[in-house]
Amino acid sequence: MADKKKTAQTAIQNICLLRLSAVGDICHTLPVVRTLQAALPRARITWIIGKTEYSLVSDMANIEFIIFDKSKKWRAYQAVRQQLAGRRFDVLLHMQMSLRASMISLLVNSPRKLGFDKQRAKDLQWLFTNERIEYKPRQHVIDSFFGFTEALGISEHLYQWDIPIPESDRAFAAQHLSASQPVLVISPCSSMAYRNWNTAGYVAVAEYAVAKHGMQVVLTGGPSAIEKQYAEAIRQQVQVPVTDLIGQTSLKQLLAVLSAATAIVAPDAGPAHMGTAVGTPVIGLYATTNPDRARPYLSAEFTVNRYAEAIRDKFGKAVDEVPWGTRVREAGTMDRITVADVTGKLDQIMEWANL
Residue 136 — pLDDT band, cuts 50, 70, 90? very high
Looking at the domain assignment, is residue 215 inside a domain? yes
How much of the chain exceeds pLDDT 90, in percent? 97
**Domain boundary, last residue among 93, 126, 151:** 151
**Domain boundary, last residue among 123, 151, 179:** 151
Q: Output the pLDDT for position 10.
A: 65
For residue 332, give the nearest of 292, 288, 289, 281 by alpha carbon.
288
Looking at the domain assignment, is residue 157 inside a domain? no
Q: What is the pLDDT of residues 153-204, one digit of tens each?
A: 999 999 999 999 999 999 999 999 999 999 999 999 999 999 999 999 999 9
d(CA 290, CA 345): 18
Q: Output the pLDDT for position 11.
A: 84
Question: Mean pLDDT of all residues in the chain?
Answer: 96
The number of distinct structural domains making up the chain is 2
Looking at the domain assignment, is residue 162 inside a domain? no
Contacts of 151 (CB under 8 A, 6+ apart): 114, 131, 132, 133, 134
Residue 139 — pLDDT band, cuts 50, 70, 90? very high
Does residue 132 register a pLDDT over 70? yes
| Helix ranges, 106-250 (H) | 141-151, 167-176, 199-213, 225-237
Return the axis-axis angle of helices 225-237 and 199-213, rounded to nearest 10°. 50
Looking at the domain assignment, is residue 243 inside a domain? yes
Q: 235 and 113, same structural domain?
A: no
Q: What is the pLDDT of residues 65-121, one digit of tens each?
A: 999 999 999 999 999 999 999 999 999 999 999 999 999 999 999 999 999 999 999
Q: 89 and 194, same structural domain?
A: no
Looking at the domain assignment, is residue 208 inside a domain? yes
Q: 123 and 39, same structural domain?
A: yes
Q: Output the pLDDT for position 3.
A: 52
Q: 173 and 120, same structural domain?
A: no
Q: Output the pLDDT for position 355.
A: 85
Q: 331 and 213, same structural domain?
A: yes
Looking at the domain assignment, is residue 182 inside a domain? yes
CB 18 within 8 A of CB 92: yes
d(CA 347, CA 355): 9
The CATH number for 306's domain is 3.40.50.2000
Q: 211 and 117, same structural domain?
A: no
Does residue 6 register a pLDDT over 60? no
Does residue 4 register a pLDDT over 70? no
Q: 188 and 305, same structural domain?
A: yes
Q: 320 and 241, same structural domain?
A: yes
Q: What is the pLDDT of residues 216-268, one digit of tens each?
A: 999 999 999 999 999 999 999 999 999 999 999 999 999 999 999 999 999 99
Looking at the domain assignment, is residue 159 inside a domain? no
Q: Output the pLDDT for position 243.
A: 98
Rg, Å, the chain Cα set: 21
d(CA 287, CA 105): 34
Q: Give every strand in the sheet of 131-132, ordered side by side.
A: 63-68, 44-50, 14-18, 91-94, 113-115, 131-132
Backbone angles phi, psi at 336, to 5 degrees: -65, -25
Q: Output the pLDDT for position 275.
A: 98
Looking at the domain assignment, is residue 161 inside a domain? no
Q: 171 and 280, same structural domain?
A: yes
Q: 175 and 42, same structural domain?
A: no
**Domain boundary, last residue among 151, 180, 213:** 151
Q: 253 and 213, same structural domain?
A: yes
Q: Which domain holds residue 298?
A: 167-352
Does residue 9 register a pLDDT over 90? no
Does residue 322 register a pLDDT over 60? yes
Burial grade of 314 (CB within 10 A; 0-12, 13-18, 19 or more): middle
Does residue 36 register a pLDDT over 90? yes
Question: How many C-beta atoms surround the C-beta of residue 288 within 10 A?
Answer: 25
Q: What is the pLDDT of residues 289-298, one digit of tens each?
A: 999 999 999 9
Q: 147 and 181, same structural domain?
A: no
Backbone angles phi, psi at 81, to 5 degrees: -60, -40
